[in-house]
Structure 1
Amino acid sequence: MIKADDLKLLRINYLRGPNIWTYRSVLEVWLDLGELENYPSNKIPGFKDRLVALLPALIEHHCGVGERGGFLQRLEEGTWAGHILEHIVIELLNLAGMPTGFGQTRSTSRHGIYRMVFRAREERVARAALDAGHQLLTATIRGDSFDVKAAVHRVRTEVDNCYLGPSTACIVDAATDRRIPHIRLNDGNLVQLGYGASQRRIWTAETEFTSAIAEGIAGDKDLTKSLLKSCGVPVPEGQIVNSPEEAWEAAQDIGFPVVVKPSDANHGRGVTLDLHTQADIEAAYHVAYPEGSDVMVERFIPGHEHRLLVVGDKVVAAARGEIIGITGDGRSTVRQLIDNQLNSDPRRGFEEEFPLETIVIETNTKVQLEIQRQGLSPEAVPAAGRFVVIERNGNVAIDCTDNIHPEVQYAASLAARVVGLDIAGIDMVAKDISRPLAEQGGAIVEVNAGPGLLMHLKPAEGSPRPVGRAIVDHLFPETEGDAAPGRIPVVGVAGTRDTHKIARMVAWLAHLSGRQTGLACRDGLFLDRRRVESVDCANWEAGHRLLMNHSVQATVIENGAETILRDGLPYDRCQVGVVTDLEGFEALSHYDVHEADQMVRVMRTQVDVVLPDGVAVLNTADTRVSDMASLCDGSVVLYGLTADVPAIEAHRAAQGRAVYLKQGYVVLAEGSHEKVLSDLGDIRTRQNTAFPMSEEALLAAVATAWALDISPDLIAAGIETFDPDPQPVRPAGSTAFFR
C-alpha cells in the first residue's frame, strides 16, 4: 500500500547567493521518499489525472522534454515524487503571481534521498509554497480533495507581505537589466543599488539625493505654492484655514468655485473639487481635516487633473485623470451601480498593483460627500439615464506623455528644481497639456516627493513608460567605458590552501593601489589595515556587510566550499575569482560530497560568477582547477610553480597570462613576453618571515593583484612592505566600519 506520509522534508536550506545550482537564490530541500521511491507516477493509479485536474496549467511545463506538455509526458512515463513536488511548487508560485521557471531535482548517494531546488526571491514565500505543495502532493497521492484556491491565497499573502512594492520593484528590475546588483536593506522598500562606494539607495521613488528639506517643503503645500509663485510658476490662489467657518470666509475672498484639501496629504486623499455652497465647503473641511495637519482652500482650476513625473531635470512620463461616475438604470442603488459599473473594472483593486482603487463608500468620505452634493445617498436609486459623479479626482491613469507641450515640461521641471527634488510628481490641472499653461489658465497645484509610479507602469489607457529605467539612469549615468555601473572590484578567493593569506595579501595590495579595501577572511573582518572583528569571517554574512559599506572601494572575500554549499556566494558577480584547489571534501559529507571530483561542481561556482570583463585566477597544480578556464565569462590568469606545465604552455600560446617561478623568481608572462619581479628576489628565502606564505600562495596573490591591474612594481613593493600584524579591533561603539 502506498503511504503518502512517507514523503518527508528532511532539511530546508535557503541559498542566498550564487550556488552550485544557479546564479540566483534558491530554496534547497532534502527529501526522503520512503516507500514512494518504489512508486513513480505511472504506478500510482489515477495520479496524473487527479494532479492535472487540480493544476491544469501543468501542461505548460516543458520540463526536460523541452516542449509544451513535457512534464505531463514525464508523468505518463513515470517520474518520482521529488520531481513532481518541484513542478507543483513552481506552479503554485506562478498562480500566486510570482512566476518562476527554474527548478531541479537530483538523487543523492543515499537510496530514496533527493535534493530538490527551486528559484526563490524571498525565503518566506518559498517556504509557504513548499508547504502548500507538499500538502497538495500528499492529498493527490491519497486521492483526497484539496483546496488549490486557498493554498494559492496563502502563498499570495506571503508575496504581498514580503515583496517589494511595484514602484520599487520596477526600479530594481531596471537596475538588473543594466547588470547593477541590489541589496534589500529592510523588510520594506529600502533598497541599495550597487556595491560599496558605488552604491545608491532608493526608498520607493525617493533616492539618497532626495533631501529632508525638499521633502518637507513638498509636504507643506502652502509653502510650496509660495516658492513656486516667486519663480513665476502658475499656482492657484489659496489660504490655510482652521475651521469650517474660516473655510467659508476664505472661499468668499478667493471667489467661487473653490477646492478644499489637506495641506500635506497626497494621492488625492481628502480633496474635494468645484465647491460653490457654504454647506458643501464646510462639509469638505471635515473630509480634509483628518487627512493632514492643516486644511487649505484654493481657487478651483477648470480642466483635467494631470501627474507629470520629473526625474533629474526631465519630464519622463505624464498621466491624465478623468471624472468618473455611474449612469442610473431606474432599478439599482448608487452602491450597486458603483459595484457593477466601476468596481467591476479589472483595473481596480485594493493591492498596489492595480492602477485604480476599488471604491468603498463606507470608508471614502470624499465619495460620500460627492454623492450627497447631488442630493443622493448610497441607497438611493438614480433615474434611468442620470449621470452621477462619484469622483472628480484621484483617477489619474491615462497616459499622455507624448502630448506634453515643451513649456509645460519646462514648468514641471522648474517646479521640481524650486522645491529641490531630484524625483518629483508634479500635479497639474489643465484643459490640454499640449498647450502652454498660461493661455488656458492651467496651474501646478502640488509637488510630491516619492511619487507612485504605477500609473505610468500600468496605465488604464495608453502605453506604459520605462520610468524605472529613467530613475536608474539618473542614479547611474551611462558613461563611456563604464561596463559595470554600480560595482566596485570584488575579489573572491575559494579553496583551502592558504586562502586567508592570499586574501590578506591581495587586500593589502589593493589598499596600496589607492582603494579603501574591505576584507572578510578566516582571520577576521578588516577595513583597510584595521581589524574590526577577530572571529572567523569567511562567511556570507561578513562578505555581505562589506558590500553594504558606503566607504569600501574594493573587497576581498574568502569563500570556503561549505560557505558555497550552505549559503551561496555573498555577491552576484565578481571582478576576480580565485580557485586554489579542490581539497577539503572530507568535511562535507553533510552536503553529500564524498570525493574530490565532486568539488569541481562546488568550486566552479566562483568561476561562474566572474564578470565578462573580469578575470579567473586558477592553479595549474590540479588540472581539474585549470580546466575551469573554459567556464569563465572573462579572461584567465593561470599560476603554477613552473612554466612547463601543459596548461600554462597552451594558455601562453593563445596569448593568455600566467604567473610562475623561474629559478626562484616570480615571472609575469603574457603570451611570449615575460617580466621578472626582480625586486622580490628569490622567494624561497621568504619562508621564515612573520607571515610565511607558500610559494604557491604567493604566486596566487601576485596573479590576483595583476588581474586587478595593479602594476608589477607596486606588487613587488607591497609584498616587501606587508605587515601581518593589523591594528587592533576598535572599542565598542566605534563607527569606523559602517560610515
Structure 2
Amino acid sequence: MSAKNDIRLLRINHLRGPNIWTYRPALEVWLDLGELEDYPSNLLPGFTDRLLGLLPNLMEHHCGVGERGGFVERLREGTWAGHILEHVVIELLNLAGMPTGFGQTRSTSQHGVYRMVFRARDEQVARAALAQGHALLMAAINERPFDVEAAVNVVREELDDCYLGPSTAAIVEAATERRIPHIRLNSGNLVQLGHGKRQRRIWTAETDRTSAIGEGIAGDKDLTKTLLAACGVPVPEGRVVESPAEAWDAAEDIGVPVVVKPSDANHGRGVSLELMEQADIEAAFGIADAEGSEVIVERYVRGNEHRLLVVGGKLVAAARGESLWITGDGESTVVQLIDSQLNTDPRRGETEDLPLETIRLEREPVMRQLLQRQGLDGDSVPAAGRRVLVQRNGNMAFDCTHEVHPEVAAMAVLAAKVVGLDIAGIDLVAEDISKPLEAQGGAIVEVNAGPGLLMHLKPAVGTPQPVGRAIVDHLFAEGESGRIPIVGVAGTRHTHTVARLVAWLLHLRGQPVGLACRDGLFMENRPVQGGDCAHWEAGHRLLMNRRIEAAVIENGPLAILRDGLPYDRCHIGIVTDAEGADTLAEHDIRDADQMPKVLRTQIDVVLEDGVGVLNAADERVAALAPLCDGEVILYAPDPANAALAAHVEAGGRAVRLQGRSAELLAPDAQPQRIELSAWGEATRAEAVLPAVAAAWALGVAPALIRAGIETFDAELARNPNPTR
C-alpha cells in the first residue's frame, strides 16, 4: 500500500475553563484527514497490529463499547484517524505520568475535517503529547519505525517542567476534593485556593499564614535552639564556630561524640554525625561550611532521626529515618555496591515524585567522609560479608505517625509555635518515639519551614498520611469553600447591561464587586481597563483580586467556544437568548439549533445551592432548565408566558413584567412588585428582568433593587464604556 499523506492540524485551541466538551481544561484540535478520510482503520492492512505493537496498553481503552478492549474492537471494525489520534495522545499522556481519560472526536460540516479534544491540565504538555502522538500515528499508518520511549520522554520532560511538585499537587488535590477552586499563579508552585477575598495562597508547604519572621528564625538553627531551650524544649547543647580549630575546641567542651552541621541547610546536606576524632571534626567543618552561612557543633543525640509534621497546631504525620548499609562481596567497589544494592530501589530517583534520591557519591561529601572514617572510598572493594555504613540521616522511609507519644507530639507542636510557623517539619532524634523525650535523652534538633510532604505521602514502609487534606483544613474551616458569589451572564442581547446592573445592585449592598463585560473591566465600581473585556483573561483577573467579594462576568458564545469559562462553577448563571449563530461559522456553528449546546455551558456550572436564570420567552433557553444543578428562576416580559406560568405552578420562582413593574413570584408567597420607571419599556425590560432575578437570587432586598434601578442611569453616565 502506498504511503498516506500526513493528517493536517488546522487549528489548536486551548480551552482553559469549562467548555462545550467538558468541565475541565482541554485541547481542541481541528484535523483534516485528507486522503485518510477514505481509509478507516480496517482498510489499512496490518495497521491495528502495528499500532498495538507500539502501544499495547491501548487494549485497556474502553472507548464507546464500555469495556476493556473496546477501542481495539473499534479499530478492527473500522474507525477514522481522528478518533485513533485521540486515543494515541491519551495513551502517551498516561505513559508520561499524567493519567487522562477524557477525549472526544466529532466530524464537522466540512468533508474530512474533525474536531478532536482531550483533557489538558497543562497546555504545553498537551501540545507535546499531540505532536508525538501525531508522529506515532503516521508512522504506524505508513509502516515506519517509531521510538515510543523517546516520545514518552519528550512528554515527560515537558510534564516535569510544567506540572506542580508533589507537595503542592497533594494540597491542590485535597482542595479539589473539598470543591475548593484553585488558580496557578506562576509556572512554579505558587497556587491560589479559592477566589477573591476568600482565597488563600500556598507555595509548596508554605501558606499566606506562614510567618516571614518564623521562616527567618527556622533558617537560623542556632537561634532556633536558643528560643526552644528558653521555652523548655529539649535541644542538644551546641554553639556556632568559625574555623576547624574552633570546631574541635567546641567538641572538647561539649564532649564527643558531636554533630557538625551548617546553620541553614536543608535535607541533611552537610550534616556529619557521631564524630569522635579531631581530624574528622575539622574535616566536617569544611563540609558544613560549604553548605551554609554558619557552622554549628552540637552534642550527638543517640537514636533514630524522625520528622514530625505539624500543621495548624496539630501533629498530622511522622516518619522515621533509617541508616543505609551495603554488604561487600569481595569483588565490587563501593560505588558498584551502592548502585546494585541501594539505587535499584524503585523508590529512588531524580524526579520529585520519588521519596528517595539516587545516591551519587560525587555530590555527597558527608557520605565520602563517612566512608573515609571506615577506611574506604568509592573505589574500595569491601571484603565479602563486610557491612559498610553509607548514610546515617536524611533518609526518611518509615511512617510512624501512630507511634508518637502524646508528650512528644505536644513538644513538636510547642516547637512550631515557639518558632512561629503554621506548618513546620520538626526534626528530632530519639531511640523510641513512643516514649517521652526526656526519659531517653531525646531532643529536637531542627525546625524547618516549608517542609517536604513526599515522605508522608509516599512512605517506603507504612501508611500514607493525608497531609494535603490537613493543610487545606487548616486554611479553610469546615463548610468553607473559598468561593465568592460569581454571576455569569451568557447570550448576546443586552448581556453587558445585565452584567452592569447586577454589579451595581451588589455594589449598593456594600460589597466590593468586580465586573468584566463588553464595556470594560471594573474593580469596585472603578474602570481599570477599556474595550471588550467579556473574555477569559479579564474574568480570571477578577477572581485573583483579593479585594473582590463578588464577581459578575459576561460570557458571549464566542468566548465560551474560544476559551471556555474563567471559573469552574458559579452561583448565578444567566442565559438571555440563543441568538448569534451567524457570527460563529469559524467554530462550525451554522444555525440556531446548535446554540443551546454552547450556552448550556453556563448552566452546567451552576452550583447545587446556586440559581440558573433563564429567559422563558426563548423556548431553546427555557429548555436548559433541567440541566441546572441548582434552582431555576424563569423570567419573561410577557406576563402571560405559558412556560413561566407552568414553572410557577410547579413551585418555581419567576420574574415577569407587569405594567411598569417587575413582579417577583414565589410559591406560597404574595407577589412582590418593583417599580421600574423608564425601565418598563419592553426592550429595556429584557435587561432589567434577568438582573432583578439574579439580585433576588443573591438575597438583595427588593427595596434596594428598586433604588438601584432608579440610580443605574446615573451610574452609566459616570462610568460609560471607557473606550468612548
* Cα distance between partner residues in 1 of 2:702 and 2:711: 14
Structure 2 residue aligned with 1:320: 320
Q: Write the letter of the residue equivalent to 1:646.
A: A
- The 3 A distance-change label for structure 1 pair 726 and 7 is same
- Secondary structure at the aligned position of 2:541 is classed as helix
* Cα distance between partner residues in 2 of 1:476 and 1:547: 17
- Counterpart of 1:724 (choices 701, 713, 716) is 716
- Counterpart of 1:702 (choices 692, 696, 702) is 692
Structure 2 residue aligned with 1:715: 705
Is residue 636 of structure 1 aligned with residue 637 of structure 2? no
Structure 2 residue aligned with 1:114: 114
Deviation (angstroms), 1:696: 1.6
Q: Deviations over 1:243-264 (max 9, x none)?
A: 1111111111110000011100
Q: Deviations over 1:313-348 (max 9, x none)?
A: 000000000111101111211111101110011111
* Cα distance between partner residues in 2 of 1:4 and 1:403: 64
Is residue 606 of structure 1 aligned with residue 602 of structure 2? yes
* Cα distance between partner residues in 2 of 1:242 and 1:728: 67
Structure 2 residue aligned with 1:413: 413
Structure 2 residue aligned with 1:125: 125
Q: Write the letter of the residue equivalent to 2:59.
A: I
- Counterpart of 1:544 (choices 537, 540, 543) is 540
- Secondary structure at the aligned position of 1:724 is classed as helix
Structure 2 residue aligned with 1:427: 427
Contact 1:334/1:378 (8 A) holds in 2:
yes
* Cα distance between partner residues in 1 of 2:74 and 2:236: 68
Structure 2 residue aligned with 1:46: 46
Deviation (angstroms), 1:472: 0.1
Alignment of 1:150-549 (within 5 A): 150-479=150-479, 482=480, 485-549=481-545
Deviation (angstroms), 1:679: 4.1
Deviation (angstroms), 1:729: 10
Q: Write the letter of the residue equivalent to 1:265.
A: A
- The 3 A distance-change label for structure 1 pair 678 and 562 is closer
* Cα distance between partner residues in 1 of 2:580 and 2:83: 30
Which of 525-534 and 25-34 deviates more?
525-534
Q: Write the letter of the residue equivalent to 1:171.
A: I
- The 3 A distance-change label for structure 1 pair 727 and 667 is closer
Deviation (angstroms), 1:512: 1.4
* Cα distance between partner residues in 1 of 2:270 and 2:694: 61
Q: Deviations over 1:673-721 (max 9, x none)?
A: 342324445743x68xxxxx61121111101111111111111111112
* Cα distance between partner residues in 1 of 2:236 and 2:470: 30
Q: Write the letter of the residue equivalent to 2:271.
A: V
- Secondary structure at the aligned position of 1:6 is classed as coil
Q: Deviations over 1:533-563 (max 9, x none)?
A: 1221111000000000000000000000110
TM norm structure 2: 0.98
Structure 2 residue aligned with 1:649: 645
* Cα distance between partner residues in 2 of 1:246 and 1:729: 72
- Secondary structure at the aligned position of 1:694 is classed as helix
- Secondary structure at the aligned position of 2:624 is classed as helix
* Cα distance between partner residues in 1 of 2:675 and 2:85: 61
* Cα distance between partner residues in 1 of 2:357 and 2:6: 47
- Secondary structure at the aligned position of 2:259 is classed as strand
- The 3 A distance-change label for structure 1 pair 94 and 563 is same
Contact 1:677/1:713 (8 A) holds in 2:
no
Deviation (angstroms), 1:728: 8.7
Q: Deviations over 1:452-502 (max 9, x none)?
A: 0000000000000000000000000114xx5xx100000000011110000
Contact 1:90/1:118 (8 A) holds in 2:
yes
- Secondary structure at the aligned position of 1:555 is classed as strand
Q: Deviations over 1:119-150 (max 9, x none)?
A: 00000000000000000000000101100000
- The 3 A distance-change label for structure 1 pair 353 and 28 is same
* Cα distance between partner residues in 2 of 1:725 and 1:290: 66
Contact 2:660/2:675 (8 A) holds in 1:
no
% of aligned pairs identical? 67
* Runs of at least 5 residues in structure 2 that lack an aligned partner in the other structure: none
Deviation (angstroms), 1:662: 2.0
Contact 2:289/2:295 (8 A) holds in 1:
yes
Deviation (angstroms), 1:3: 4.4
Q: Deviations over 1:384-419 (max 9, x none)?
A: 111100000010121000001110011000000000
* Cα distance between partner residues in 1 of 2:181 and 2:7: 38
Q: Deviations over 1:634-690 (max 9, x none)?
A: 110000012332221221122110000123321000125342324445743x68xxx
Q: Write the letter of the residue equivalent to 2:238.
A: G
Q: Write the letter of the residue equivalent to 1:38.
A: D
Contact 2:514/2:525 (8 A) holds in 1:
no
Deviation (angstroms), 1:17: 0.3
Is residue 574 of structure 1 aligned with residue 570 of structure 2? yes
Contact 1:659/1:703 (8 A) holds in 2:
yes
* Cα distance between partner residues in 1 of 2:203 and 2:139: 43
Q: Write the letter of the residue equivalent to 1:347.
A: R
Q: Write the letter of the residue equivalent to 2:652.
A: G
Q: Deviations over 1:30-51 (max 9, x none)?
A: 0000000000000000000000
Structure 2 residue aligned with 1:661: 657
Q: Write the letter of the residue equivalent to 2:507.
A: H
Which of 204-213 and 693-702 deviates more?
693-702
Deviation (angstroms), 1:511: 1.0
* Cα distance between partner residues in 2 of 1:152 and 1:665: 64
Contact 1:530/1:728 (8 A) holds in 2:
no
Q: Write the letter of the residue equivalent to 2:656.
A: Y
Q: Write the letter of the residue equivalent to 1:700.
A: P
Q: Write the letter of the residue equivalent to 2:406.
A: P
Contact 1:531/1:726 (8 A) holds in 2:
no
Q: Write the letter of the residue equivalent to 2:550.
A: A
Contact 2:519/2:721 (8 A) holds in 1:
no
Aligned alpha-carbon RMSD (Å):
1.3
Contact 1:532/1:728 (8 A) holds in 2:
no
* Runs of at least 5 residues in structure 1 that lack an aligned partner in the other structure: 688-692, 731-739
Contact 2:655/2:664 (8 A) holds in 1:
yes
- Secondary structure at the aligned position of 2:396 is classed as coil
Contact 1:3/1:35 (8 A) holds in 2:
no
TM norm structure 1: 0.96
Contact 1:665/1:681 (8 A) holds in 2:
yes
Q: Write the letter of the residue equivalent to 2:39.
A: Y
Q: Write the letter of the residue equivalent to 2:632.
A: V
Contact 1:6/1:32 (8 A) holds in 2:
no
Contact 2:531/2:721 (8 A) holds in 1:
no
Q: Write the letter of the residue equivalent to 2:146.
A: F
Q: Write the letter of the residue equivalent to 2:382.
A: P
Contact 1:652/1:672 (8 A) holds in 2:
no
- Secondary structure at the aligned position of 1:36 is classed as helix
